[in-house]
Amino acid sequence: MSSNSARPSARPVAFCLHAMGASSAEFAHLRDALAGEIEVVAIDLPGFGDTAWVDGASVEETVEFVIRRIRAHGAARWMLVGHSMGGKIASIIAAWTLSGRAPLFGLAGVVLLAASPVTSEPMAEDRRELMIGWASESHLSSDGHLSDESAREFVEANIAEPLAKTDMASAVSGVRRTDPLAWRAWLERGSREDWSSEVGDLAVPALIVSGAQDGELGDPAQRRLNGATYLAAKFVTIEHAAHLLPIERPQEVAAAILTFWRDHAGTSPGVPLSTGRVIASERTSERTRGILSRRALADDPGYQPLVLSSEQLATLRDIGERLVPQSDDAIDLAARVDQQLGRGGGDGWRNAALPADVNAYRLGLDALIGFGVHPPERQGEMIAQLIDGSFVAEASTMSSKQLQFWFEDVRVDLARQWMAHPATFSRVKYDGFGNGGDGVRKHGFTLLEAGRREAWEPSGGGTE
């Protein structure tokens, strides 16, 4: 392949997980609406569509099934789109990916459509029992599946307005194709399971979409339940829709996903596939894989600083642009430094002439407020003076020498945050993270000669 392939494709993959009583077919309109922008890969979950129930039964087995499908696809950068039942599965996969447990890399965002939460799904018990009864032997049709009458009742209860004839037929077919065992398993067990303690809080960019006429899983429930998992999620409510969003309003859903990708999830520098494969492999430990997966996520465009003021953060961003120039898909180095300060991180030492890190940053940045409005020439002069210790800030309580020492820390912190990103690893051809993984038999390096690379090593800045 040409050297251009070293850059990750700008076209991400959306792995779509359907609702109970549906199949991959429910995303057909969404696939058409996103064509050319996002590749839609819809997956039939075990017991639904063309996937046999014997391939998986429990929630955990379904999660593992989807992970295998994502891994086999080999996408460099991807999102999870989970509808209703599929939303719970998507959230667990996201948690396993960000912890490093799943042998995956490249997750950029999660989209939940009228999604079941990781806790027990809210559902009226009389309605649950009614639907379980549809899958009992006495109610099944002669072909062993849910009856056409039950299927139509289910679909009609989950839409706000009548569907087009072909869409209605497809939705009813999805219900009827469902294995009754899978239908009962979700209603009796899967929807009741509580995974919140294992999933925890997820920092991944998330879009949570609900239908204005959805009852039990509408916007209030989404904010209360899935909002507890995705603390920085963006919420969208679609009018004239209830629960079957991908079928009822595919164009509106597609527009929301595209905006989410362009404005948030897709704004982080992409990591080439060859690097991602090594991170996802057994050569990289789970702990390291999780750390790198989280570092690769896009920064929140609406980030609110933890310890710096908004003005101080803006000044640090202006300084960062001069010290560590980046491309359009830039890492928000200043925000990451602020997070580092907020959690008490750093390199473990400070100059004795300086106050504690947070106070030093606040005082130093206050001395440089307005840095960004100066022309490039003046900015260069200020940086040179800070480095050589001659910069004087008349209104600052920090001396020129203290500002010099503090600016050393600034340069180190900004450069470290840039270097820590997996996209930078690829750019500088660093692959030391693939040093053996967690197994008893380590798969480390065997060629230790300058200029020689092992067959498994990522190509980095070269070709894929």
23 lies in some domain: yes
439 lies in some domain: no
**Domain termination residue (choose one: 420, 444, 459):** 420
Q: Could you tell me if 227 and 370 lie in one domain?
A: no
Residue closest to 15 by CA, chosen among 259, 257, 366: 257
pLDDT in the model for residue 454: 83
Q: Could you tell me if 104 and 226 lie in one domain?
A: yes
Q: Could you tell me if 118 and 31 lie in one domain?
A: yes
The CATH number covering residue 29 comes to 3.40.50.1820
pLDDT at 54 over 80: no
The structural domain count of the chain equals 2
Q: Which two tokens stand for residue 419?
A: 């270097």
404 lies in some domain: yes
pLDDT in the model for residue 196: 97
pLDDT tens-digit map of 377-407: 999 999 999 999 999 998 889 999 999 999 9
pLDDT at 267 over 50: yes
pLDDT at 78 over 80: yes
Q: Could you tell me if 254 and 320 lie in one domain?
A: no
Distance CA 188, CA 171 (A): 22
Residues of the chain with pLDDT > 90: what percent? Answer: 86
453 lies in some domain: no
436 lies in some domain: no
Q: Which two tokens stand for residue 400?
A: 């020129």
Residues of the chain with pLDDT > 70: what percent? Answer: 96
pLDDT in the model for residue 56: 60
pLDDT tens-digit map of 290-344: 999 999 999 999 999 999 999 999 999 999 999 999 987 899 999 999 999 999 9
Q: Could you tell me if 170 and 26 lie in one domain?
A: yes
Judge whether 211 and 186 are in contact, CB under 8 Å. no
What are the distances in angstroms from CA 157 to CA 21, 134, 169, 283, 323? Answer: 13, 14, 15, 49, 58
Q: Could you tell me if 109 and 250 lie in one domain?
A: yes
pLDDT in the model for residue 73: 95
427 lies in some domain: no
Q: Could you tell me if 165 and 212 lie in one domain?
A: yes
280 lies in some domain: no
Domain hosting residue 111, numbered range: 3-267
Distance CA 94, CA 74 (A): 16
Q: Could you tell me if 311 and 416 lie in one domain?
A: yes
pLDDT tens-digit map of 122-131: 999 999 999 9
Q: Could you tell me if 261 and 338 lie in one domain?
A: no
Q: Could you tell me if 111 and 213 lie in one domain?
A: yes
Q: Could you tell me if 21 and 158 lie in one domain?
A: yes
Q: Could you tell me if 214 and 82 lie in one domain?
A: yes
* DSSP per-residue string spanning 205-243: -EEEEEETT-STTSHHHHHHTGGGT-TT-EEEEETT--S
Q: How much is the average pLDDT of 176-186?
A: 95
Q: Which two tokens stand for residue 63?
A: 């999660």
457 lies in some domain: no
CB-facing half-sphere around the CA of 157: CA atoms within 13 A: 13
